[in-house]
Amino acid sequence: MALRFSKMHGSGNDFLVVDGRGGGLALNPAVIRAMADRHTGVGFDQLLSIEPARDGRSAFYYGIWNADGSFSGQCGNGVRCVAAWLHRAGALAIGDTVQIQSPSGPVAVRLIDAHRVTVDMGEPIFDPPRIPFDAPNSADHYTLEVDGQALEIGAASMGNPHAVVVVENLAAPALARLGPALTGHARFREGANAGFVQKLDRQHVRLRVHERGAGWTLACGTGACAAMAVLRRRGDVDARVQVDLPGGSLEIEWAGPGERLWMTGPATFVFEGEWLGML
């Protein structure tokens, strides 16, 4: 039985989107891994399933699976693609603001045009048990030993855990080993997305992210949000920041503690297809 899908990306962070609004969608990690293979499958960083809402207050629910078949709580670039997909399906009009349900809770999306979306990502979480991160108290800076090196990080959750490291050079060879090591660090008991951020000025940064379950990606929406939030909490950036990632740029707005964080960026369709392999 064939499974229809849309291939999409947000700033190069690529997705396979499947329609489960009619129910009966059954996926397992082995199938997801087979579909994610970039040589013998379709290839993607995450799979997104659009399904009926489960909370009674949202218009839809979306599930998120990483390329290795593991489950994810949130995906900033993915939710923009979900909104654009719903618009193409006739379920969301340009200018509308709609609440949709993610695995980590509801988010509001506003369609600016057919290919650009603003998302209410909620308030960043810095409380260590809620990230989750092993630390006695919440702090702006933590020191971890990562692959034999003392590394200063910030820790936050945007519906999934993030470790943020400020660096001078995003092309430094050491990042190739530090990214995976930080993603799997024991103090992040559920793993973490490791973001390396270079500050250009108070309104402009560059970022690379090694994502748990997907590896190095061209963009990470929640990673951009977490990096900005960590820097904003330290007083290092303004309330509106452009975050440049290898695949494109995102706009992040956050006034500070007690306020909700907003992300704006593109959502692009690549092609439609059918999966004829195992289900």
**Which residue from 66, 62, 153 is spatially nearest to 99, judged by alpha carbons?**
62
Give Cα 148 to chain centroid, integer Å: 28
Same domain assignment for residues 49 and 93: yes
Same domain assignment for residues 28 and 144: no
Same domain assignment for residues 45 and 24: yes
Same domain assignment for residues 186 and 203: yes
3-state secondary structure string across 212-235: CCCEEECCCHHHHHHHHHHHHHCC
Contact present, 182 and 146 (Cβ < 8 Å): yes
Same domain assignment for residues 197 and 111: no
Same domain assignment for residues 118 and 148: no
Is there a binding annotation on residue 66? yes
Structure tokens at 267: 């959502």
Same domain assignment for residues 188 and 148: yes
Strand partners, 40: none
Same domain assignment for residues 155 and 241: yes
Structure tokens at 26: 């059954």
**Domain that residue 9 falls in:** 3-122+267-275
Of these residues, 125, 220, 250, 261, which one is catalytic?
A: 220
Contact present, 128 and 134 (Cβ < 8 Å): yes
Is the pTM value of this prediction over 0.85? yes
Which residue has tokens 């702090």? 139
Same domain assignment for residues 8 and 84: yes
Is there a binding annotation on residue 123? no
Same domain assignment for residues 250 and 135: yes
Contact present, 182 and 164 (Cβ < 8 Å): no
Is there a binding annotation on residue 28? no
What is the β-pairing status of strands 3-10 and 105-113?
Answer: unpaired
Whether 81 is catalytic: no
DSSP state of 257: T
Reduced to 3 states (helix: H, G, I; strand: E, B; else coil), residue 122 is strand
| Angstrom distance (rounded) from CA 155 to CA 152 | 10
Amino acid, res. 106 = P
Same domain assignment for residues 241 and 134: yes
Of these residues, 17, 75, 83, 125, which one is catalytic?
A: 75
What's the pLDDT at 2?
87
Is there a binding annotation on residue 137? no
Total structural domains within the chain: 2
Same domain assignment for residues 111 and 148: no
What's the pLDDT at 249?
97
Contact present, 249 and 265 (Cβ < 8 Å): yes
Longest dimension (CA), the chain: 54
For the chain, the 3-state helix, strand and coil shares in percent, each to the nearest 5, are 15, 45, 40
Whether 225 is catalytic: no
- For residue 248, the domain's CATH number is 3.10.310.10
What's the pLDDT at 193?
97
What's the pLDDT at 177?
96
Q: What are phi and psi of 40, to 5 degrees?
A: -115, -5
Is there a binding annotation on residue 212? yes
* pLDDT, block means (10 residues), the chain with 279 residues: 93 96 88 96 97 93 96 94 97 95 94 95 97 97 95 97 98 96 97 98 98 96 98 98 97 97 97 89
**Which residue from 215, 220, 230 is spatially nearest to 261, judged by alpha carbons?**
230
What's the pLDDT at 72?
93
What's the pLDDT at 149?
92
